[in-house]
Amino acid sequence: MSQHVTSGTTRPTHPSPGFSRNDARLVASLSGGLGALGAVVGLAVGLRTYTPTAWFAALEVGAPAAWLGLMLGLTIVGVRRLAARRRRAH
């Protein structure tokens, strides 16, 4: 592993083991995308069922969809990081 020297201290040049921007972007886009899709579906169902409460149907379907997107994104990031760690180990 190479080292980077800055003001007398050395630090590794490999990426940090923390959550990267790409990981955060993936999780946020999946959560937001599925949440928005769920809200649109909930609104459509709410408008067909009972118009005065259509906004609540959008929230009722959109919030669990956003949560599902969050969990799916975190799972994908975890699997990618585990696969990268295993590749580095061999």
**Mean pLDDT, range 8-29, rounded to an integer:** 76
Confidence of residue 89 (pLDDT cuts 50, 70, 90): confident
**Dihedral sign (CA 29, 34, 37, 39):** negative
Q: Is the pLDDT assigned to residue 4 strictly greater than 50? A: yes
**Mean pLDDT, range 13-19, rounded to an integer:** 63
Which residues have C-beta within 8 Å of that of residue 72, sequence separation ≥ 6?
A: 30, 34
pLDDT digits (tens, 9 = 90+) for 33-83: 999 999 999 999 999 999 999 999 999 999 999 999 999 999 999 999 999
The answer to whether the CB of 39 falls within 8 A of the CB of 65 is yes
pTM for the whole structure: 0.75
